[in-house]
Amino acid sequence: MQTYPPIAPLENSPDPQTLGENSNSVAPIEITYYTDPLCSWSWAVEPQWRRLRYEFGDRLVYRYSMGGLLRDWQQFTDPLNHISRPIQMGPVWIQVRHLTGMPIDEKIWVKNPPTSSYPACIAVKAASQQGPGVAESYLRRLREAVMLEGRNIAQREVLLELGAELNPELGFDGDRFARDLDHPDSVEAFRQDLKEMRYCGIARFPSIMLRPSSGRSLLMMGYRPYSVLRDAIAQIAPDLEPERSVTDAIAYLTHWETITVPELAVALNLNIEAATILLDEAVHRGQLEKAGFLYRKTGGRA
């Protein structure tokens, strides 16, 4: 049976300054999500994280803080999982796939292992210069690229390519992104994320800080099923209700642009087989396209 670390109540909410410019004191709950583009457990929790944001909408205000999971292999060690070399990361990704059902391709750790997650973290901060929507879409694209497509997100050329692959409707400026990727402000923004992580005692990814408008905050570290996320919100904001529920697979996919089978399964409370059938039937009807493990609307991103 999968076990989870306890939810930690914090007597004092973190310094509001650490929550960043996107915080909104009117929102019942502010969330800081500590993550890393190279974190397989953060990828595994995407089904729950997406459903939570979809259902609560503007009633949740959230921001991302990049964790810097892998500075370099000379200084990285994970005694718990016996990892000190790239090839040893593969079995962990296999375990994540087995325990959570999220598709993930571990072969990158043999064929073309990333040397660091710092470039990708800085790239997310560079994308955020063009708005939180751009940053969120770029972070998702990073995850898809490394977890499903075997693309090395430690390489600058890959980081630039992924920006060019974002939905044109976002208005992403590739030239600006290339400049911001090297700009000291992006590096400093990432440095501030690392500082915040140390201040809040973040020891693993993903970690989610739930901060109500008053009262104690809650810190959840590690992978969580959706019911635990909902219970945590109910604990600190009992009167907060979702704006909507997930009722239509195509509408849900359209909202996110791309989706995996487990993401739909979690959203609609289906098993993997039923979710697969639903999506594949939509492909046969010409409503969706399938590329690898990802489904998207017909005519979507190539």
Q: Is residue 219 part of a domain?
A: no
Share of the chain above pLDDT 70, in %: 90
Q: Are residues 33 and 176 in the same domain?
A: yes
What is the model's pLDDT at position 300? Answer: 65
Q: Would you say residue 17 has pLDDT above 60? A: no
Q: Would you say residue 11 has pLDDT above 50? A: no
Q: Are residues 261 and 112 in the same domain?
A: no
Paired residues of 290 in beta bridges: 295
Q: Are residues 55 and 196 in the same domain?
A: yes
Q: Would you say residue 19 has pLDDT above 90? A: no
Q: Are residues 265 and 141 in the same domain?
A: no
What is the model's pLDDT at position 83? Answer: 85
Q: Are residues 175 and 116 in the same domain?
A: yes
Confidence of residue 78 (pLDDT cuts 50, 70, 90): confident
- The residue segments making up the domain with residue 282 are 249-297
Q: Is residue 103 part of a domain?
A: yes
If you average pLDDT over residues 22-43, what whole number do you get?
Answer: 83
CATH code, 61: 3.40.30.10
The tens digit of pLDDT for each residue in 181-217 reads 999 999 999 999 999 999 999 989 999 999 998 888 9
| 3-state secondary structure labels for all residues of the chain | CCCCCCCEEECCCCCHHHHCCCCCCCCCEEEEEEECCCCHHHHHCHHHHHHHHHHHHHHEEEEEEECCCCCCCCCCCECCCCECCHHHHHHHHHHHHHHHCCCCCCCHHHHCCCCCCHHHHHHHHHHHCCCHHHHHHHHHHHHHHHHHCCCCCCCHHHHHHHHHCCCHHHCCCHHHHHHHHCCHHHHHHHHHHHHHHHHHCCCCCCEEEEEECCCCEEEEECCCCHHHHHHHHHHHCCCCCCCCCCCCHHHHHHHHCEECHHHHHHHHCCCHHHHHHHHHHHHHCCCEEEECCEEEECCCCC
Domain C-terminal end among 149, 181, 207: 207
Q: Is residue 214 part of a domain?
A: no
Q: Are residues 151 and 66 in the same domain?
A: yes
Is the model more confident about 242 or about 22?
Answer: 242
Residue type, 78: D
Task: Look at the chain and report how many structural domains it folds into.
Answer: 2
If you average pLDDT over residues 260-289, what whole number do you get?
Answer: 98
Residues sharing a CB contact under 8 Å with residue 125, sequence separation 6 or more, in sequence order: 66, 135, 186, 187, 189, 190, 193
Q: Are residues 159 and 272 in the same domain?
A: no
Domain C-terminal end among 177, 207, 237: 207
If you average pLDDT over residues 155-161, what whole number do you get?
Answer: 98
Q: Are residues 274 and 157 in the same domain?
A: no
Q: Would you say residue 117 has pLDDT above 60? A: yes
Contact 35, 41 (CB under 8 A): no
Dihedral over Cα of 294, 297, 300, 302: its sign: positive
Q: Is residue 231 part of a domain?
A: no
What is the model's pLDDT at position 9? Answer: 55
Q: Is residue 238 part of a domain?
A: no
Q: Is residue 220 part of a domain?
A: no
Q: What is the mean pLDDT of the chain?
A: 90
Q: Are residues 168 and 273 in the same domain?
A: no
Q: Are residues 61 and 163 in the same domain?
A: yes
The tens digit of pLDDT for each residue in 129-148 reads 999 999 999 999 999 999 99
Q: Are residues 174 and 264 in the same domain?
A: no
Q: Is residue 29 part of a domain?
A: yes
CATH code, 260: 1.10.10
Q: Would you say residue 10 has pLDDT above 80? A: no
Q: Would you say residue 269 has pLDDT above 80? A: yes
